[in-house]
């Protein structure tokens, strides 16, 4: 799935932040995007076995 993540992984995004901490709004937005991605692959009957958050 990483080929669809324009901004890279969470570590690369976090390393670009000055504070190195996501704000609550950013964290909610990111987690919602992750959940939407999992929902889409489940609806398409795709099985995953290694999700890391």
pLDDT tens by residue, 4-34: 677 777 788 888 877 778 889 988 988 898 8
Distance CA 21, CA 18 (A): 8
Residue 4 is predicted with a pLDDT of 64
Residue matched to tokens 């709004």: 25
Q: Is residue 27 part of a domain?
A: yes
Residue 53 has pLDDT above 90, yes or no: no
Q: Is residue 12 part of a domain?
A: yes
Q: Which domain holds residue 22?
A: 2-43
Report whether 9 contacts 2 (CB < 8 A): yes
Q: Is residue 14 part of a domain?
A: yes
Residue 13 is predicted with a pLDDT of 80
Structural domains counted in the chain: 1
pTM above 0.85, yes or no: no
Residue 45 has pLDDT above 90, yes or no: yes
């Amino acid at each position: 799935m990483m080929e669809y993540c324009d901004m890279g992984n969470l570590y690369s995004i976090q390393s670009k932040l000055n504070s190195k901490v996501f704000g609550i709004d950013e964290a909610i937005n990111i987690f919602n995007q992750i959940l939407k991605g999992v929902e889409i692959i489940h609806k398409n009957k795709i099985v995953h076995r290694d999700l890391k958050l």
